[in-house]
């Protein structure tokens, strides 16, 4: 479980760095385009690539840290066992969904890799570079969902659920 937490934390830091890089790329593009009349061919595409990868690899940390939107109107009123059961059910749904997206996303990325598809833009990057973010991100989400499912089965309920003391 510590390995998953380490990967989750490293991915969150990488996602944060990708978001910062996106800001730099786009700022550079605006300055180059509007102040020097010299637009780049790379800034927009690398920004999109960074945003896609950043968002998808951050999902695992967001789930593990419970930073996503949660509706707790009912779960805060549940007892310890019922809240843990609701949490386990939620994590099971997330895990199944993640496994399905992982499976299909891998197939799409691998197909692009095999066929040598490219983005068709000025940079003409391999399409699988962007598409691979889906199976990687959802694999990480699946691992965290399974970890949280096991924790819920053991009675651990995150903040916003039943209060454990």
Domain span at residue 32 reads: 2-153
Does residue 103 lie in a domain region? Answer: yes
Q: Is 90 inside any structural domain?
A: yes
Asked if residue 33 is part of any domain, the answer here is yes
pLDDT band at 165 (very low <50, low <70, confident <90, very high): very low
Is residue 121 one of the residues assigned to a domain? yes
Return the ∠ at Cα 108 (arms to 103 and 110), rounded to 5°: 90
Within-domain flag for 165? no
Does some domain include residue 162? no
Considering the domain boundaries, does residue 158 fall inside one? no
pLDDT over 60 at 152, yes or no: yes
The domain total for the chain is 1
Whether residue 160 lies inside any domain: the answer is: no
| pTM of model > 0.85 | yes
- Residue 155, judged by CB atoms within 10 A of its CB (0-12, 13-18, 19+), counts as middle
- What pLDDT digit, counting tens, does each position of 32-63 carry? 999 999 989 899 899 999 999 999 999 999 99
């Amino acid at each position: 479980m510590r390995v998953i937490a380490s990967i989750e934390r490293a991915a969150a830091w990488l996602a944060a760095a990708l978001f910062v890089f996106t800001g730099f790329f786009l700022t550079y593009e605006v300055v180059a385009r509007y102040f020097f009349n010299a637009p780049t061919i790379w800034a927009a595409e690398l920004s999109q690539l960074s945003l896609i990868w950043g968002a998808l690899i951050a999902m695992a940390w967001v789930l593990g840290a419970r930073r996503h939107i949660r509706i707790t109107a009912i779960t805060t009123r549940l007892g310890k066992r019922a809240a843990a059961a609701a949490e386990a059910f939620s994590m099971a749904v997330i895990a199944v969904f993640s496994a399905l997206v992982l499976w299909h996303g891998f197939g799409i990325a691998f197909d692009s890799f095999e066929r040598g598809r490219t983005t068709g833009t000025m940079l003409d990057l391999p399409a699988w570079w962007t598409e691979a973010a889906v199976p990687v991100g959802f694999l990480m989400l699946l691992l965290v969902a399974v970890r949280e499912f096991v924790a819920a089965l053991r009675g651990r309920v995150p903040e916003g659920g039943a209060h454990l003391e």
